[in-house]
């Protein structure tokens, strides 16, 4: 007979699996919409992906939907010429940067510096 703790752990694991699946699905749908130029739809899907991980406190997983949202606003800025869209894109990109794995970014910066200094 399963213990109460075992059943609770199974429920938590299943919920996490469902949330992960929803996150991936929302990102995929957002990418598809972005590729076809459906910016409003892309924004909705990326925001839903962000919300699914933000509520759970999975801040490291927030980087990708934040970055994708920045792409939406960049495209809006290109289409509309509205400077506030560019500002939003930059802010979202910076938010993604803060939540990303900094060691990879620092390594990329170092590699870029080396390429510029010693081509």
Query: What is the residue-level pLDDT of the chain in tens, covering all 119 positions?
Result: 556 665 555 554 455 555 678 899 999 999 999 999 999 999 999 999 999 888 766 777 888 899 899 899 989 998 988 889 988 988 888 888 888 866 555 665 566 566 656 64
Domain span holding position 60: 11-117
Please report whether residue 28 resides in a domain: yes
Please report whether residue 5 resides in a domain: no
| Count of domains observed in the chain | 1
Using only the alpha carbons of the chain, give its radius of gyration.
Answer: 18
CATH number for position 64: 1.25.40
CA distance 37 to 71: 11
CA distance 108 to 31: 25
Q: pTM for this one?
A: 0.70
């Amino acid at each position: 007979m399963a213990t109460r703790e075992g059943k609770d752990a199974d429920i938590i694991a299943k919920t996490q699996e469902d949330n992960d699946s929803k996150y991936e699905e929302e990102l995929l749908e957002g990418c598809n919409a972005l590729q076809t130029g459906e910016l409003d739809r892309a924004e909705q899907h990326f925001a839903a992906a962000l919300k699914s991980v933000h509520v759970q406190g999975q801040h490291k997983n927030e980087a990708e939907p934040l970055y994708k949202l920045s792409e939406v606003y960049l495209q809006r800025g290109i289409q509309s010429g509205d400077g506030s869209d560019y500002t939003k894109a930059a802010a979202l990109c910076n938010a993604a940067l803060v939540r990303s794995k900094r060691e990879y970014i620092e390594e990329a910066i170092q590699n870029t510096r080396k390429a510029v200094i010693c081509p």
